[in-house]
Amino acid sequence: MTLKIRVIAPDKIVWDAEAEEIILPSSTGQLGILTGHIPLLTALDIGVMRVRIEKEWKPIILLGGFAEIKNNDITILVNGAEEVNDINLDDAKNNLENATKILEAAETSKEKIEATQTLRKAKARLQAATINNN
């Protein structure tokens, strides 16, 4: 038995396939889903979604949203998503360092909020690039 997974962003369908397992970056921590999971609606944080297809893990960066799990169907509505194939590990490390410096230099509340979001995205990109390179 498999899970039917659909990831939908405002501008496109990011993912529409079947998988054996999925790990979501929920707002309360990592959430693993296998077939037969109880119905659930959860908020998603910025982070890496990992999908297992035939023993291979595929990471996809999610930029926040919601997931509904029902009858082995998972529908994920996200603010945005990024494929990992285009991420260079060294660039991801450099971007994380830069994002950390920007957050440290932020002075106003608005700057701190924007810098925090940028830092979270940079962390997710580095995590996804690390998973993809293994």
CATH number of the domain enclosing 109: 1.10.287
- Helix, strand or coil, per DSSP, at residue 81: strand
Q: In terms of domains, do 70 and 99 share one?
A: no
Q: In terms of domains, do 37 and 10 share one?
A: yes
Q: In terms of domains, do 79 and 98 share one?
A: no
pLDDT digit of tens for each residue in the chain (134 aa)?
799 999 999 999 999 999 999 999 998 899 999 999 999 999 999 999 999 998 888 899 999 999 999 999 999 999 988 877 767 778 888 888 988 888 888 889 998 888 888 888 888 888 888 776 66
Residue 78 is predicted with a pLDDT of 95
Alpha helices in the chain (DSSP H): 89-105, 109-133
Q: Is 72 left (phi over 0), alpha (psi -120 to 50) or beta?
A: left
Q: Number of structural domains, the chain?
A: 2
Residue 90 is predicted with a pLDDT of 82
Q: In terms of domains, do 108 and 68 share one?
A: no
Q: In terms of domains, do 76 and 35 share one?
A: yes
Q: In terms of domains, do 27 and 65 share one?
A: yes
Q: In terms of domains, do 20 and 76 share one?
A: yes
Residue 95 is predicted with a pLDDT of 85
Residue 132 is predicted with a pLDDT of 66
Q: How far apart are CA 2 and CA 6, in angstroms?
A: 13
pTM recorded for the entire structure: 0.80
Instruction: Pick the last residue of a domain from 66, 83, 100.
Output: 83
The boundaries of the domain holding residue 129 are 89-133
- Report long-range pairs for 51-57 (Cβ below 8 Å, ≥24 apart): 51/5, 51/15, 51/17, 51/19, 51/21, 51/22, 52/19, 52/20, 52/21, 52/22, 53/17, 53/18, 53/19, 53/20, 54/20, 57/131
Q: In terms of domains, do 65 and 12 share one?
A: yes
Q: In terms of domains, do 79 and 99 share one?
A: no
Q: In terms of domains, do 55 and 105 share one?
A: no
